[in-house]
Amino acid sequence: MGRVAVGAAVVCAAAAVAVAAVVVRRRMRSSGRWARAEGVVRELEERCASPAGKLRQVADAMTVEMHAGLASEGGSKLKMLISYVDNLPTGDEQGLFYALDLGGTNFRVMRVQLGGKERRVVKEESKEVSIPPHLMVGSSDELFDFIAAELAKFVASEGEGFHLSVGRQRELGFTFSFPVRQTSIASGTLIKWTKGFSIEETIGEDVVVELTKAMERQGLDMRVAALVNDTIGTLAGGRYYDNDVVAAVILGTGTNAAYVERAHAIPKWHGLLPKSGEMVINMEWGNFRSSHIPLTEYDQALDVESLNPGEQIFEKIISGMYLGEILRRVLLKLAEEAAFFGDSIPTKLKIPFILRTPDMSAMHHDTSSDLRVVGNKLKEILGISGTSLKARKLVIYICDIIAFRGARLSAAGIVGILKKLGRDTVASSGSEKQRTVIAMDGGLFEHYTKFSQCLESTVKELLGEEAAESVVIKLANDGSGIGAALMAAAHSQYTELEES
């Protein structure tokens, strides 16, 4: 019996030693994995670094590119498109105006009753309509007839509180968020379709003419007073409520900026100088690039695999379409090189764009003690379960690096615009302080709080405390809707008659 007991004790001890050895090996492997993971993150942090000195170089490069783009067509990566908008809303506008916002698989129709300075927007109504998929690849007439028919139905439902002055034609602001070569305030030819649309015969045609012909076929008497994009709509909406708005920036799925330029500072403008002496410029700033922008291997791979390699580099590191995808690529490298999520690589982690920026934002804003939102998102979206608190904390740290680089570069872009306008410095002694407002729109800026807070604090950091006092960054919602209606009001045929 004694021998058996001794034998059993020896076996147990041996087993205990074996288990201990396994635990030690696991710990060593785990600490090895962790060291490799930290190495990956450290390298990401170094590559994404955006100290103030580097950001000032980015801002200076933005200003230089703006000058180049205004000097000649094709002179810069920034298109600096002349919008033909030389009047922005003042707040005095009165009457009934419509907007049509076509920018994707849905479109929106809207009407607003404007009551001048005292009453502003008296009443507004809108309706969203889905476009049947077959119309997105059908004929031009079919698409525009469908839109005009829905617009006619919406006009027919005009009820109490909306009043069109006697003898006046209804007027419409048309937000068309596809690449267009604008030829006047109310005309522009389609360069190419995006977002799943493919109607060859529309390319090279004036989209306002196409819409107008379709409205005539529906028996709808309505004039398109302004063709705008969502960024210029945001600028118009911002200026309507605040006369000090000089620029608008969209930070959503994509990104863009527009601002008010002095007409005589546009060398490539060969027409008559507008009466206002001003012209709104659509920068198309998503295409900005500079050697000073901090890029990583993840950005380069994302760009090479994208539908437009070498294009929209700024957009690919600051906008909502891409931030979540950059995070996915970093997590995939952690899985491949540091076995961060266990011995096998999670299959879903290999799927491009599976991790959206709203999900990244939800993880980044997780304040629970066990970071359960991070854990849940990793499990629901990527099929990764059983993550440790330490691992979740590292995921949040990676979100910090990616989001803050995007926010700081966006801030540098804004400072570049302020430099171009001469509004980046303290007013000289004796001269009055000039208030400068940037109107912001887009889901990324509106809903990703850590991103927008970082953007605002970086603008302050780059301008300095005193100069920053007179710069306001302000959310101005729904540029593509109400902004377009306000543009129709500002460019109404009746306003011109009243003035003359």
Based on the number of CB atoms within 10 Å of its own CB, is 57 exposed (0-12), middle (13-18) or buried (19 or more)?
Answer: middle
* 108 included as an active-site residue: yes
Q: Please give the Cα distance from 323 to 296 (Å, whole number).
A: 13
Tally of CB atoms within 10 A around 340: 25
Active-site position among 33, 86, 108, 359: 108
* 206 included as an active-site residue: no
Based on the number of CB atoms within 10 Å of its own CB, is 431 exposed (0-12), middle (13-18) or buried (19 or more)?
Answer: exposed
> What are 40's two structure tokens?
């990956």
Between CA 179 and CA 360, with CA 355 as vertex, the angle to 5 degrees is: 95
* 177 included as an active-site residue: yes
Judge whether 97 and 158 are in contact, CB under 8 Å: no
Q: What is the DSSP string of 31-87?
A: HHHHHHHHHHHHHHHHHH---HHHHHHHHHHHHHHHHHHHHSTTSSSS--EE-----
Judge whether 256 and 201 are in contact, CB under 8 Å: no
> What are 80's two structure tokens?
């600096």
Q: Please give the Cα distance from 451 to 469 (Å, whole number).
A: 21
Active-site position among 76, 83, 177, 492: 177
Q: Which residues contact 1 (CB under 8 A, 6 or more apart)?
A: none
Active-site position among 230, 359, 366, 478: 230
Give buried/exposed letters for 384-414 (b at 16+ CB in 10 A, else e).
beebeeebbebbeebbebbbbbbbbbbbbbb
Alpha helix segments (H runs only) across 353-463: 357-364, 372-382, 389-420, 443-447, 449-463
Q: Which 3 state secondary structure label does DSSP give 280?
A: strand
Q: Please give the Cα distance from 21 to 298 (Å, whole number).
A: 38
Based on the number of CB atoms within 10 Å of its own CB, is 330 exposed (0-12), middle (13-18) or buried (19 or more)?
Answer: buried
Place of tokens 């969502």: 230
Pick from 216, 152, 215, 212: nearest CA to 188: 212
> What are 86's two structure tokens?
């030389």
Give residue 243's identity as a one-letter amino acid code: N
Catalytic residues: 108, 177, 230
